[in-house]
Chains A and B, each alone.
Chain A
């Protein structure tokens, strides 16, 4: 398929359709409103259904229903809207149902700003609803990668029967890049016939349950969830390495921040610094395998937040003192120059 120039928010919508998603339930919020706008027009053309819900709460609970009925289903929002969706995300997770949720992050907390941010890491990666759980979280750094990750997300969701969150931001949502759409399932996907609500027909009735009256049942369900997470952590870690072969220092950054850091790495390399970049593509599971390195003197965590992923970097390298942090937040986009200055301050001034 030839490349086409598309805005990020529209490209993720098209990616969902290409991946076979025919149901979208959402609510407008800047800077992701082009996702519902695009899908309201395009889904009906392929026999799909678009519903503008009355709230994010309603939207995510519509997703719960559609997922329970066995459909590939998508919702999208931005930070305060994702906060509202946490209730339903917890229910969908607890019920072992697949769904894809896109978060085009903006600055927070509260209403925050409408400019791009990365301060929802904790909410999305650590489980923003109640209880012990995780969702698979994918962090694209380009429109093409957002497209590819949306397609992968549907497969991962169906394979593991869990919500998958695309954690992107308003910058990637709003910018235009050339993209192509090549969907083919990467996994052997299980049938949904054993559990989906389709009416019992001549068989046994299906129940999607969320309440355990017996604490022991609830604990056992949590143990089963944890086994799923163990499997996900073993099999799904993904990251990109840039200039890491001889690196003595490593930036760690994801999504939009990582794009900026990459150019800062080039500048610092040109100035003689042995520095590279580890870019997590999966935030859950966090790519701890990328941090088993004896030769790295310091990890330089850079985010558009006050330092949330930094906690996971400290755990992954197993050394709190090895991690330095720099970030801008509240909708401020980092400049390559300030990242270079941060790098120099950690690595020992001008060469």
Chain B
């Protein structure tokens, strides 16, 4: 018998506090697996956000810092500038990155900071209990948009990957999802590529993961993945939005 899949050594044994079926756990292990396969867990520093992933530092088996809400790209900039040989990652949700931290992510991307950002977009504020996020879909219900997001009142969602792709700074931007094993594999490839873009000193890499929030969406984990496929991905199409590595997709 040979082991063909086991828990990554890039993760600790601490049990995740996330709700059943929350995709944070899937993306955590993808990051951990990529760093482990690159032999970079000893050299990595994660900047974790405010939001559900605020305690990701306990789960990652590498150095980490808890950042102020939205400011992870700034904090990552400080760390990376001190020692450019480190692999510095920001891991941020949609409230963190696309609302309060819009300024920081746009400018870190524009400066071409040699960091890797993993952006979890599930269209809702999870930790605070289901409030409307900048990425909440039109018509989607939230505790601060109880009748569904009305774009005439609450404005329109932001497609962050497309927006950042207009900048000259980023080297690699891809949007992925994790609703099927195939998508999980593609998400891992994207994260690996973004990390390699950093390791090779090419510049800023960004991977948006269209994700789920079973609890605040009021769905089972399996139904939530179906919602991602049917509602989220049509609004947030998957694919590569920028790739200056010369590799194509």
Which residues of A line the B interface, CB within 8 A? Answer: 23, 25, 49, 51, 53-55, 57-59, 61-71, 73, 87-88, 91, 95, 197-202, 205-211, 213
Contact = CB atoms under 8 A, between A and B. Distances in A.
B117 interface: no
Contacts of B58: 207
B82 interface: yes
Nearest to B78: A65
B55 to A, nearest CB: 7
Given A199-B45, A202-B42, A69 B64 contact: no
Given A65-B65, A88-B68, A199-B42, 9 more contacts: A23-B78, A25-B77, A66-B78, A197-B79, A199-B44, A199-B86, A205-B60, A207-B66, A211-B54
A71 B80 CA distance: 11
Interface string B191-227: 0000000000000000000000000000000000000
B152 to A, nearest CB: 30
27 contacts: A23-B78, A51-B81, A53-B74, A53-B107, A54-B103, A58-B103, A58-B104, A58-B107, A61-B104, A62-B75, A62-B78, A65-B65, A65-B74, A65-B78, A68-B75, A69-B79, A70-B82, A73-B82, A87-B68, A88-B68, A91-B68, A197-B63, A197-B64, A199-B86, A200-B62, A205-B64, A211-B55
Interface in B109-150: 111
B74 to A, nearest CB: 4
Given A58-B74, A62-B78, A69-B82, A205 B62 contact: yes
Interface in B56-100: 57-58, 60-68, 71, 74-83, 86-87
Query: Which range holds the interface residue count of chain B?
Result: 35 or more
A55 B107 CA distance: 10
B82 A199 contact: no
Interface of B: 41-45, 47, 50, 54-55, 57-58, 60-68, 71, 74-83, 86-87, 103-104, 106-107, 111
Contact of A57 (B50, B71, B76): B71
B65 A66 contact: no
A53 B103 CA distance: 10
Contact of B78 (A54, A63, A198, A202): A63
Contacts, number: 133
A57 B82 CA distance: 19
Contacts of A58: 71, 74, 77, 103-104, 107
Nearest to A59: B74
Contact of B86 (A59, A198, A202): A198
> Which among B41, B79, B104, B107 has the greatest number of chain A C-beta atoms within 10 A?
B79
A128 to B, nearest CB: 15
Contacts of B57: 207, 209
Contacts of A59: 74
Given A54-B107, A69-B78, A61 B71 contact: yes
Contacts of A66: 78-79, 81-82
Contacts of A70: 82
A202 B43 CA distance: 10
Given A66-B82, A201-B42, A211 B74 contact: no
A202 to B, nearest CB: 7
Given A23-B81, A70-B82, A198 B75 contact: no
A221 to B, nearest CB: 13
B74 A199 contact: no
Contact of A200 (B41, B50, B80): B41
Contacts of A61: 67-68, 71, 74-75, 78, 104
Contacts of A54: 103-104, 106-107
A60 to B, nearest CB: 8
A208 B74 CA distance: 15
A198 B77 contact: no
Contacts of A207: 57-58, 63-66
Contacts of B75: 61-62, 64-65, 68
B199 to A, nearest CB: 13
B71 A69 contact: no
A151 to B, nearest CB: 21
A211 B51 CA distance: 11
Contacts of B111: 51
A68 B88 CA distance: 13
A200 B74 contact: no
Nearest to B42: A201
Contact of B77 (A62, A202, A205): A62
Contacts of B103: 54-55, 57-58
A25 B80 CA distance: 13
A201 to B, nearest CB: 5
B73 to A, nearest CB: 8
Contacts of B87: 199
A69 B83 contact: yes
Nearest to B40: A199
A210 B71 CA distance: 13
B145 to A, nearest CB: 27
A211 B78 contact: no
B103 to A, nearest CB: 6
Contacts of B79: 65-66, 68-69, 197
